[in-house]
Homo-oligomer: A and B are copies of this chain.
Amino acid sequence: MADAERPAPAESPSDPHLFERRIGGTTLLSGGFLEVRRDEVLLPDGSPATREYIQHSGAVAVVPLLDDGRLVLVRQYRYPVAKVLLEWPAGKRDPGEALLDCAMRELQEETGYTASEWAYGGEIHNAAAYSSESIWIWFARGLVAGPPRPDHGEFVETVLLSEAELDAIANRDALPDVKTLIGLHWLQRWRAGTRPLAWLSAAQAAAL
């Protein structure tokens, strides 16, 4: 039974000895915030198994670089871990939304900033054992401040930090959010000349 929403196993075409093949499945939970699936699969040796996972539309995180060298981050209470986390502005992609549109929207909603230049950083999988989520990391510069427009029920505060300040926070293990650690690392690599970024004007990027 095919599932149009599931990607074909596209990577590592030489790995059929590891692939699991979907033969059926049901939706365990939907209509609220989380959509949970249970699929029946065949393991590489042909034996049956089940796989439960979150079907996720993906998320975007933005590393926003102010002209004065500071970075724009947000702090918010993350209920599942019962902690206030320091993070890049980020959010879930709306169904069918283009990645850059999502990045621009989340940056403006959470912090008020708009950006004149954008560069795509890369894709990460944050919970591949039980979630289909990808987080696509973008970099933004040429920032102009404006009023934040948080979603109803979203309490987020903007924080401006230098790269050295954020690095110090990471080094004292007070930056546990994975996308924020990885975005900072990629930023440092870009500054060091070892990870290129292809900057585009907002108009160029939107036309891609």
- Residues of A with Cβ closer than 8 Å to B? 6-12, 15, 17-20, 28-29, 32-34, 36, 38-39, 41, 43-45, 47, 49-54, 59, 75-85, 92, 122-134, 153, 155, 157, 171, 173, 176-179, 181-182, 185, 194-195
Contacts and interface: CB of A to CB of B under 8 A. Distances in A.
Contact of A125 (B7, B20, B59, B178): B178
Contacts of A38: 32
Contact of A81 (B50, B75, B134): B134
A173 to B, nearest CB: 5
A116 B132 CA distance: 36
A129 B178 CA distance: 12
16 contacts: A8-B82, A11-B83, A18-B75, A18-B77, A19-B77, A43-B153, A43-B155, A45-B155, A49-B153, A51-B80, A54-B80, A126-B127, A127-B131, A178-B179, A178-B182, A185-B185
A41 B82 CA distance: 12
Given A43-B155, A130-B54, A155-B18, A81 B185 contact: no
Given A18-B155, A182-B182, A128 B32 contact: no
Nearest to A77: B18
